[in-house]
């Protein structure tokens, strides 16, 4: 079959490789025309994944009209803060479409997930929706390291179809119908991953990191359940699996942002040095707003918001976390 992948960053390129490996023809849409031209000319993504040669079944374009014409199966892999705009620009070229979102983020202005944004923008042009998430570093999946993730859709048939579409010898998908949980887990873990990087940047050790991951998962789960997700999702690939990966893996963009924060760089300096998007930076705003809206205590997320947006120092944030009032580990 044919698949159009909207977004030619690291993960979009990786999913193009995975889809081609599964036997599909793929058209990869790039926002930057020079990236699309580089892919066509060099058979590599010259900016985001220059070390991996692309399958001949992968094409590239800068035209959304061409991408929509190529296939009505769309894999959206654009940053959350561009997702609505890109989908709106696609809308005139779409008759009916199946959409799989690989975007891990929450829209800051509306506090909506990508499933909500997709339904609003496409309306009755949306045939089915799924979200793909889990512990999936782009480079490792692209080079064929065994990788496992989860796909969620409220339509069981589409969850099964999406699962079969991308699964193969090196990429395995599980399925669920917990769209809320998978989207929220994939988004919220990025905030905790920045915090994990901060700990490394400060030179702190394994005790601190283990505490962060455990309590970070706890507060992710509290908010996720309050917003309709299920407990088991946060204990699975989209929750615990992805959290462990992004908090410990050297390829994590969010963790790298945290490392530089811990070493004393400003957020503006860090973001100015890379073209890649660390979704946790923006998600920290949305997560803090959602926690306040729903009355959910999320102390790690709150402290990361203060470090990122209010000029708080990482050491002061850690001290405030460590000196909070004492309480039971699990509320009764």
158, 171: one domain: yes
The encoded tokens of residue 301 equal 């997320």
Which is nearest to 8 in space by CA: 66, 73, 79?
Answer: 79
Give the separation between CA 304 and CA 164, rounded to whole angstroms. Answer: 38
pLDDT in tens, 224-279: 999 999 999 999 999 999 999 999 999 999 999 999 999 999 999 998 887 777 89
Picking from 110, 142, 177, the residue at the C-terminal end of a domain is 177
The count of domains in the chain is: 2
Structure confidence at residue 332 as a pLDDT band (50, 70, 90): low
Q: What is the pLDDT of residues 99-108, one digit of tens each?
A: 999 999 999 9
Residues 288, 312, single domain; the answer is: yes
CA 13, 142, 83, 271 torsion-angle sign: negative
Note the pLDDT of residue 277.
75
**Is 62 contained in some domain?**
yes
Please state the rounded mean pLDDT for residues 133-145: 98
Distance between CA atoms of residues 194 and 246, nearest Å: 9
Rounded mean pLDDT, 1-22? 97
CA distance 17 to 30: 15
Give a yes or no: residue 121 inside a domain.
yes
Q: Give the helix/strand (H/E) hosting 20.
A: helix 10-21
Q: Are residues 134 and 236 in the same domain?
A: no
| 246 in the same domain as 145 | no
| Residue at a domain's end among 154, 177, 200 | 177
Q: Which of 160, 177, 194 is the last residue of a domain?
A: 177
- Mean pLDDT, the chain, rounded, equals 96
CATH number of the domain to which 239 belongs: 1.10.1040.10
Known catalytic membership, residue 189: yes
Which residue among 104, 154, 189, 285 is the active-site one?
189
For residue 273, the model assigns a pLDDT of 85
Contacting residues for 32 by C-beta, under 8 A, at least 6 apart: 8, 47, 62
CATH code for the domain in which residue 19 is found: 3.40.50.720
55 and 145 both lie in a single domain? yes
Residues 207 and 137 in one domain: no
**Which residue bears the tokens 């031209």?**
37
Does the residue 332 lie in any domain? Answer: no
Indicate if the pLDDT at residue 331 is higher than 80: no
Over residues 195-207, the mean pLDDT reads: 97
Average pLDDT of the residues in 158-184: 97
Residue 330 pLDDT: 87
Residue 184 and residue 173 share a domain: no
Q: Tell how far CA 65 is from the center of its chain.
A: 25
Q: Is the pLDDT of residue 185 over 80?
A: yes
Is 245 inside any structural domain?
A: yes
Q: Is residue 83 part of a domain?
A: yes
Q: What angle do CA 114, 117, 120 make, to 5 degrees?
A: 150
162 with 194, same domain: the answer is no
Q: Let me know if residue 53 belongs to a domain.
A: yes
Please write the tens of the pLDDT for every residue from 310-319: 999 999 999 9
Q: Is the pLDDT score of 39 beyond 70?
A: yes
Domain with 313 in it: 180-322
pLDDT of residue 265: 94
Is 92 in the same domain as 203? no
pLDDT above 70 as % of the chain: 100
Is there a single domain that holds both residue 189 and residue 233?
yes
Tell me what the mean pLDDT of segment 16-23 comes to. 97
The position carrying tokens 């359940």 is: 225
Residues 188 and 300 in one domain: yes
pTM above 0.85, yes or no: yes
Considering the domain architecture, whether residues 212 and 135 belong to the same structural domain is answered as no
Evaluate whether residue 36 is within a structural domain.
yes
- 208 domain residue, yes or no: yes
């Amino acid at each position: 079959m044919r698949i159009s992948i909207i977004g030619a960053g690291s993960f979009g390129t990786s999913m193009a490789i995975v889809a081609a490996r599964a036997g599909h023809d793929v058209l990869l849409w790039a926002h930057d025309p020079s990236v699309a031209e580089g892919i066509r000319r060099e058979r590599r993504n010259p900016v985001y994944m220059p070390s991996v040669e692309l399958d001949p079944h992968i094409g590239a374009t800068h035209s959304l009209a061409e991408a929509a014409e190529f296939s009505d199966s769309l894999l959206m892999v654009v940053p959350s803060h561009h997702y609505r705009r890109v989908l709106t620009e696609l809308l005139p070229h779409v008759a009916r479409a199946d959409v799989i979102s690989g975007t891990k983020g929450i829209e800051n202005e509306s506090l909506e997930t990508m499933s909500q944004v997709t339904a609003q923008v496409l309306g009755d042009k949306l045939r089915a929706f799924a979200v793909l998430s889990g512990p999936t570093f782009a480079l490792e999946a692209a080079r064929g390291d065994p990788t496992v993730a989860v796909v969620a859709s409220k339509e069981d048939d589409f969850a099964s179809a999406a699962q079969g579409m991308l699964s193969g010898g090196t990429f395995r998908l599980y399925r669920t119908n917990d769209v809320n949980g998978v989207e929220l887990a994939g988004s919220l873990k990025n905030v905790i991953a920045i915090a994990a990087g901060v700990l490394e940047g400060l030179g702190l050790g394994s005790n601190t990191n283990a505490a962060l991951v455990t309590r970070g998962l706890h507060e992710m789960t509290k908010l996720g359940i309050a917003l309709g997700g299920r407990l088991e999702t946060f204990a699975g690939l989209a929750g615990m699996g992805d959290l462990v990966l992004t908090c410990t893996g050297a390829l994590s963009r969010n963790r790298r942002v945290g490392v530089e924060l811990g070493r004393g760089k400003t957020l503006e300096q860090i973001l100015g040095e890379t073209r890649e998007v660390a979704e946790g930076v923006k998600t920290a705003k949305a997560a803090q707003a959602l926690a306040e809206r729903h009355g959910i205590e999320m102390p790690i997320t709150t402290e990361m918001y203060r470090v990122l947006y209010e000029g708080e120092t990482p050491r002061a944030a850690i001290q405030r976390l460590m000196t909070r009032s004492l309480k039971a580990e699990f509320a009764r």
